[in-house]
Structure 1
Amino acid sequence: MAETKPRFYYKGDRLKPLRAFCQVARLGSVSRAAEALFLSQPAVTLQLQALERDLGAALFERIGRRLSLTREGNALYELARPLVEGLDGLEGEFRNKLKGLEGDELHVAAGSSTILYLLPRLVQAFRESHPKVQLVLHNVTGKDGLSLLRSDAVDLAVGSMLDVPTDLSYAPVYSFDPMLIMAKGHPLAAKATLQLEDLSPYGLILPPKRLTTWRLVDLVFQQRRVPYTVALEVGGWEVIKQYVAMDMGISIVTGICLTDADRDRLEVRNLRDYFPPRSYGVVVRKGKFLSPQARAFADLVKPGAFERTDYFESGHSDR
């Protein structure tokens, strides 16, 4: 019959005997180790004996009145000390980690229009309530924003999405109507009602084709079989508004970008009868837990949109 290796009581809990072993190795005395561990000397002795039997090696030798490590004891001490110290310091490190979450970085992806028109007051409110968090805004659009979300380079995104991929969650918050903008005194401004066909003779100033606005404008004109021309393709609502004010063309913009000053220098007409409104909100990637600061920022945009039990990460497409 094969010899059965004995099973010891202390083998079920390796931490206690390893902690006792490390204390004796550090202090050179069972009695001093027992005091440090708030145990009796016999309890510490039993734990050491069980550990030596379990490992099949003598771990200490007595030199005078002090216990010293054997060669095997030294080998074990090198392995056990970081484990024991790590476990003993786990609670403190955990609490420090939680504090770090509140004083960490928050990365948010957004397009230029979102950063310029929608986020300023939200960023201000977040900075006031979370002064220790370093907020990093990534000015990106379209596929670049989605790539940042999916690669965990950003925590979430704020912007507009027409088509939401299955791996993302989108919580729309704000809605803005499509607006036709023209220079002061433009012929279209005199019309009581506007038809989409009325825009055909005038060149449009639009964002680049890779952005959502251009594709949406093209889709609506194509569906209604209304011809149109693009006089100028340029990025940035501020640039577009300036060129329209100079009467270089007309444009169809989202209401988010129009200020009171813009309405004073431009002719503005609502085109909700022809173009759908654009929503803006928080986009996150499914499957990633939002940090406290990311959840706080999302709640500033849309309170309660993403509860603590939900798992996310972000995605974004602007304009």
Structure 2
Amino acid sequence: MPDSTAASPRFAYKSDRLKPLRAFCQTVRLGSVSRAAEALFVSQPAITLQLQALERELGAVLFERHGRRLTPTREGQLLYELAQPLVESVDALPTVFRDKASGLDAGELNVAANSSTILYLLPKIVAGFRERHPEVRLTLHPTISADGTELLRADSVDLAVGSMLDVPSDLSYAPVYQFEPLLIMPPEHPLARKSKLDLHDLSPFPLILPPKRQITYRLVDLVFQKNRVPYTVALEVGGWEVIKQYVAMGMGISIVSSICVTDVDRERLATRSLREWFPARSYGVVVRKGKVLSPQARAFIELIKPDLFHQRDYDETGHSER
């Protein structure tokens, strides 16, 4: 028996397996080495050498002659069944690529966003995108910011739209919109009638805030701690609509972004600006650095910020240079 550990013969053609397989498939199809050579625009000896090398490597006779025509042996027919789909796929690659590339306007787009962004910021953008690109299947993935970053890193979504305080080094964040910080309370609340509002005035009243893991809670805590103003949280609950409902019922006051306060809300809630103590909240586009955006993603971002692709690269903090 031959030593199984012995090195296999090395043939020069192995560096390009496609050529001998293509030569083999053409010979089977046309029944002649000369016709295969004409079809492939090479010499007959070149085809013969490639077929002989295949037979040596596989240890099988691939053709037998019937008159002037070559026909595959049983082993040759097996190889043809295996090789022909591969050769056809490779030969068709340029055409398939062009067809696929020309159809990139179709397809799908996956966008991550938290509930407030989906509810208050994205409706007009989504409507505009659907009007311009009805053939694209758009999926909005509701998430909190942390989950959105993980979806971006896993390439489960094309981009995220939302608000970020700390931008990880592997992501880019381009802020687009700014929203004012507001105190919301029932219309009859004492703070609603106060002529000049100070941060200390909020201290006696319990707050209703989103969960601690979310940006709003972290920002509120940061501002109160920085100004050494004590505060209490009566209720943690997710969702601005729920928070506004509980505030309207008199269960507490809250600090929200103006993105979530509608004209209907102003009929049942009193609002006061807190821009003196709290920074404006930015919302924008988040992408993974190094990701090549699809045409669908670029079209969506274009509706959010038309000049985003005309900006220079993001700086080291992940914010756009503008």
TM-score interval, normalised by the smaller of the two chains: 0.7 to 0.9
Question: Matched residue of 1:197: which SS?
Answer: helix
Question: Matched residue of 1:82: which SS?
Answer: helix
Distance (Å, rounded) in 2 between the aligned partners of 1:48 and 1:11: 14
Aligned partner of 1:165 in structure 2 is 168
8 Å CA contact retained: 2:33, 2:48: no
Mapping for residues 1-319 of structure 1, pairs under 5 Å: 15=18, 18-29=21-32, 33=36, 37=39, 43=42, 45-55=44-54, 59-70=62-73, 73-74=76-77, 76-78=79-81, 80-99=83-102, 101-306=104-309
8 Å CA contact retained: 2:112, 2:148: yes
8 Å CA contact retained: 1:11, 1:54: no
C-alpha change, 1:11 and 1:215, in structure 2 (3 Å) is closer
Q: Which amino acid aligns with 2:278?
A: F
CA-CA distance at 1:28 after TM superposition: 2.2
Deviations 1:154-209 (A, max 9, x none): 11100000000111110000010100111112221222211001111222111112
Question: Matched residue of 1:165: which SS?
Answer: coil
Once structures 1 and 2 are overlaid, which stretch shifts more, 258-267 or 96-105? 96-105
CA-CA distance at 1:27 after TM superposition: 3.0
8 Å CA contact retained: 1:20, 1:44: no
Distance (Å, rounded) in 2 between the aligned partners of 1:150 and 1:172: 19
C-alpha change, 1:17 and 1:209, in structure 2 (3 Å) is closer
Once structures 1 and 2 are overlaid, which stretch shifts more, 262-271 or 174-183? 262-271
Distance (Å, rounded) in 1 between the aligned partners of 2:186 and 2:193: 12
Distance (Å, rounded) in 2 between the aligned partners of 1:142 and 1:171: 15
C-alpha change, 1:33 and 1:234, in structure 2 (3 Å) is same
8 Å CA contact retained: 1:159, 1:282: yes
Once structures 1 and 2 are overlaid, which stretch shifts more, 252-261 or 184-193? 184-193
Deviations 1:23-49 (A, max 9, x none): 2202324576567x385xxx5633322
Across the aligned residues of Structure 1 and Structure 2, the Cα RMSD in angstroms comes to 3.0
Q: Which amino acid aligns with 1:202?
A: F
8 Å CA contact retained: 2:24, 2:51: no
Question: Matched residue of 2:25: which SS?
Answer: helix
Question: Matched residue of 1:209: which SS?
Answer: coil
Question: Matched residue of 2:235: which SS?
Answer: strand
Question: Matched residue of 1:97: which SS?
Answer: helix
Distance (Å, rounded) in 1 between the aligned partners of 2:142 and 2:310: 26
8 Å CA contact retained: 1:11, 1:51: no
C-alpha change, 1:167 and 1:11, in structure 2 (3 Å) is closer
Distance (Å, rounded) in 2 between the aligned partners of 1:257 and 1:12: 62
Question: Matched residue of 2:221: which SS?
Answer: helix
Distance (Å, rounded) in 2 between the aligned partners of 1:310 and 1:46: 55
TM, length-normalised to structure 2: 0.83
Residue segments in structure 1 that go unaligned for 5+ positions in a row? none
Once structures 1 and 2 are overlaid, which stretch shifts more, 46-55 or 159-168? 46-55
CA-CA distance at 1:224 after TM superposition: 0.8
Q: Which amino acid aligns with 2:300?
A: F
CA-CA distance at 1:125 after TM superposition: 1.0
**Higher RCO structure, 1 or 2 (CA under 8 Å, sep 6+):** 1
TM, length-normalised to structure 1: 0.84
After superposing on structure 2, the runs of 4+ consecutive aligned residues of structure 1 that deviate more than 6 Å are 10-14, 307-311
Distance (Å, rounded) in 2 between the aligned partners of 1:64 and 1:70: 15
8 Å CA contact retained: 2:145, 2:163: no
Q: Which amino acid aligns with 1:285?
A: R
8 Å CA contact retained: 2:208, 2:236: yes
Deviations 1:66-90 (A, max 9, x none): 2212466446535542332122110
Q: Which amino acid aligns with 1:23?
A: Q
CA-CA distance at 1:16 after TM superposition: 5.2
Q: How many residues align?
A: 303
Aligned partner of 2:3 in structure 1 is none
Q: Which amino acid aligns with 1:170?
A: Y
8 Å CA contact retained: 1:203, 1:231: yes
8 Å CA contact retained: 1:177, 1:270: yes
Identity of counterpart residues, as a percentage? 67
CA-CA distance at 1:238 after TM superposition: 0.9
